[in-house]
Amino acid sequence: MANSQPTRRDFIKTSTVAAAGAALAANLMPSNLYAAGDDEIKVGLIGCGGRGTGAIDNDLHSARNVRIVALADAFQDRADSCEKRANELGQQKEVADLGNKVDVKGRVFVGLNAYEDLLKTDCNYVMLATPPGFRPIHLAAAVAAGKNVFTEKPVAVDGPGIRSVLDTYEKANEKKLAIVAGTQRRHQLGYLETIKQLHDGAIGDIVAGRCYWNMEVLWCKPREKDKGG
């Protein structure tokens, strides 16, 4: 990050760096981001798999005065694994040097309704990293609870879900809350500069194109015999 001592405002502006690898537009800043008399970013994570756990790692290295206060997942093993990793990160010197902490004791919630318990805590910044089919429900609940939200993409997987998200967006605007989605490539400077050069004619007229995305194999958890598989 360019600023060696980012403020809380900088953190929210760059929260897709923390959670998805890119900077946010400044006009997404909510006016009520700051808790009264408290400049601490209190993070609650809903979805404790690989992406969510990675986001915790990113958050703790992205700004000052960050405290991870609550975790929620449908499955006990995911919640336990994320809690273990979060506590390990909280012991790192570079995290402590930033004034960041992990304090989730008594606030690790498990089950399909775990998100409801998390939203009752004093977190002021919620990250959504569950499978996207749950996103509209969790997003609506977070905004109803008065939380600023970073949501992984996609924000929904069908028409009803998208309409729900659009409705939640309007409610967030009314409450002056921020919702930011992890469409990081739309904000990543390398991509933006490449597009600018293409528009400026750097390679002439484009008459055809192909796009590829290379990555590791997607995770898969096989069904287990005698466990509903």
Residue 21: is its pLDDT beyond 80? no
Look at 102 and 20; give whichever has higher pLDDT: 102
Name the band, by pLDDT with cuts 50, 70 and 90, for residue 40: very high
Q: Rounded mean pLDDT of the chain?
A: 85
The pLDDT value given to residue 228:
58
Rg (Cα) of the chain, in Å, rounded? 19
Residue 88: its pLDDT value, please? 97
The continuous run of DSSP H or E covering 141 comes out as: helix 135-144
Tokens of 198: 């293409």
Specify the residue for token string 């008594």: 106
Shortest CA distance to 69 belongs to which of 44, 89, 92, 40? 44
pLDDT on residue 156: 96
Pull the structure tokens for residue 111: 């089950």
Give pLDDT, residue 11: 44
Q: Given a cut of 50, is residue 15 above it in pLDDT?
A: no
Would you state the CATH architecture of domain 8-186? 3-Layer(aba) Sandwich (3.40)
pLDDT of 72-121, one tens digit each? Answer: 999 999 999 999 999 999 999 999 999 999 999 999 999 999 999 999 99
Count the Cβ atoms, other than its own, within 10 Å of residue 103.
14
pLDDT given for residue 157 in this prediction: 96
- Domain limits, the chain: 8-186
CA dihedral 146, 174, 171, 62 (to 10 degrees): -50
Does 154 sit behind a cis peptide bond, omega within 30 degrees of 0 on the bond before it?
Answer: yes
| Per-residue pLDDT at 213 exceeds 60 | yes
Q: Which tokens belong to 132?
A: 């996207």
- pLDDT digit string (tens) for 136-189? 999 999 999 999 999 999 999 999 999 999 999 999 999 999 999 988 788 889
pLDDT at 4 over 60: no
Alpha-carbon dihedral 158, 76, 110, 61, rounded to 10 degrees? -80
pLDDT of residue 207: 92
Residue 35 per-residue DSSP state? B
CA angle 181, 130, 66 (to 5 degrees): 65
Q: What is the pTM (predicted TM-score) of this model? A: 0.76
What SS3 class is residue 45?
Answer: strand
Sign of the torsion formed by the C-alpha atoms of 213, 28, 65 and 56 = negative
Do the Cβ atoms of 95 and 61 come closer than 8 Å? yes
**Phi and psi at residue 161, in whole multiples of 5°?**
-65, -45
Distance in angstroms (rounded) separating the CA atoms of residues 118 and 120: 5
85 φ/ψ angles, rounded to the nearest 5 degrees: -65, -40
